Amino acid sequence: MRSWNTIMVSGGAGFVGGNFIRHILGKKEFAGRVINVDALSHTGNPLSLRDVEDAHGTKRYVFERADIRDRSAMDRILNTYGVECIVHFAAESRIDSSAFTTSDFITTNINGTLTLLQAARAWWEGRREGLFHHVSTAGVYGSTEAHELISEDSPYNPSAPYVASKAASDHLARAWFRTYGTPVTISNASRNYGPYHFPEELIPLIITNALSEKALPVFGRKDDTRDWLYVTDHAEAIWRILTRGRIGESYNISGENALKNTELVQHISRVLARATNRQEKDFASLITFVEDGAESPLRSTLGCDKIKKELSWKQAFNLDQGLEATVRWYLDNQAWVEEIRSGEYLRWIEKNFSKRKERKLL
């Protein structure tokens, strides 16, 4: 089993990276330090980790506002903190807008990953061997037939620009391992849900709109089938890869919860009704499907036998447990939702990250 003293997390102010930081700082087996490197683009919210900063201080958690496309910033950070392991989450991740703002998807997801791989390779040369873990999505495999199960050997078949850019970055990470021997691992996970998810994403949007009795728009076809993974199950799977995964390998991470959109919404309505002592039909009546014109329903059924067998990982949350925990979290953290919706966090970033103050927060 590998152990790490200093882990750099790129994109740790985002949804999955932030949950990952929280998860590993709470683990008995990890006594080291996390360096969160994030450019704070529109989905990065450093306020989500305020309590982590308060609880652990800079001995265990440091925030660096930096762009992964900036090679000299990456060199400086790796060097300053003596980074041993990089967990690379930073990405332009919004699938829906990817068709309209393609250049950021390319420059961050592809060029940014390339810059980080180059910096890691140079930094680890002649030093104790590190690990570069590249966090990717199951979307790279594209849509499948209903009976087909995706495995790590399935061909890549991305559709949207976002997933195409993630596929390209997976190939780059793999090429750095094969060509230069850079120690790389990759994971491809299905859709995540859980705490600290931007309120405009499907599951939090349904929960937060339902709580304020607004219409519940579900984009896509009723029959679109997706797999949902609770975000801390994802975090634990990545931890297992960092500590026990085979170098050069890819691992799929799935909730094994492939559901049609209609079924997902029914589940959420049931959980919301239980959590608020109301009737399921109160919520079900608010749902409106907004079809997006796709020609055939999207399906993806991601198999994850490899990580289960090799690394003894399994999901701790089934869908109902995960949704229950998520609904509870949004009920208890409405101030966080307000902060995002009002743009308060963006004003906070402006105020605290002017050039003059940038270094002071480190």
Ligand X SMILES: NC(=O)c1ccc[n+]([C@@H]2O[C@H](COP(=O)([O-])OP(=O)(O)OC[C@H]3O[C@@H](n4cnc5c(N)ncnc54)[C@H](O)[C@@H]3O)[C@@H](O)[C@H]2O)c1
C-alpha–C-alpha distance, residues 264 and 219, integer Å:
13
Residue span 284-323 as binding mask against ligand X, x where in contact by CB under 6 A, dash where not? ----------------------------------------
Tell the smallest beta-carbon distance from residue 204 to ligand X (Å): 11
191 binds ligand X (CB under 6 A): yes
H or E element: which one contains 324? Answer: helix 319-332
C-alpha–C-alpha distance, residues 130 and 58, integer Å:
22
Query: Residue 131 forms beta bridges with which residues?
Result: 85
What is the arrangement of strands in the sheet containing 6-10, beginning at the earlier edge strand?
61-65, 33-38, 6-10, 85-88, 131-137, 184-189, 250-253
161 binds ligand X (CB under 6 A): no
Q: Which residue in 4, 7, 38, 182 binds ligand X (CB under 6 A)?
A: 38
Q: Which residue in 73, 87, 119, 135 binds ligand X (CB under 6 A)?
A: 135
- Per DSSP, the residues of 72-137 read HHHHHHHHHHT--EEEE------TTTTTTSHHHIIIIIIIIHHHHHHHHHHHHTTSS--EEEEEEE
Q: Which stretch binds ligand X (CB under 6 A): 120-128, 131-139, 146-154, 171-179?
A: 131-139
C-alpha–C-alpha distance, residues 243 and 13, integer Å:
23
Q: Which residue in 8, 25, 40, 203 binds ligand X (CB under 6 A)?
A: 40
14 binds ligand X (CB under 6 A): yes
Q: Which residue in 36, 43, 144, 232 binds ligand X (CB under 6 A)?
A: 43
- The closest of 331, 134, 149 to 245, measured between CA atoms, is 134
Q: Which stretch binds ligand X (CB under 6 A): 6-14, 152-160, 237-245, 307-315?
A: 6-14
Q: Which tokens hold the place of 122?
A: 């140079």
If the CB atoms of residues 16 and 173 are measured against ligand X, the closer one turns out to be 16
Q: Which stretch binds ligand X (CB under 6 A): 77-85, 184-192, 269-277, 309-317?
A: 184-192
Residue span 74-103 as binding mask against ligand X, x where in contact by CB under 6 A, dash where not? ---------------xxxxx----------
Residue nearest to ligand X (CB): 14
C-alpha–C-alpha distance, residues 158 and 169, integer Å:
12
Tell the smallest beta-carbon distance from residue 64 to ligand X (Å): 10
If the CB atoms of residues 136 and 208 are measured against ligand X, the closer one turns out to be 136
Q: Which residue in 60, 69, 260, 274 binds ligand X (CB under 6 A)?
A: 69
Q: Count CA atoms closer than 13 A to 178's CA, side-chain side.
A: 7
If the CB atoms of residues 44 and 195 are measured against ligand X, the closer one turns out to be 44
Tell the smallest beta-carbon distance from residue 136 to ligand X (Å): 6
C-alpha–C-alpha distance, residues 9 and 18, integer Å:
9
Contact 89, 173 (CB under 8 A): no
- The closest of 183, 40, 188, 170 to 114, measured between CA atoms, is 170
Q: Which residues bind ligand X (CB under 6 A)?
A: 10-11, 13-17, 38-41, 43-44, 67-69, 89-93, 108, 112, 135-137, 166, 189, 191-192
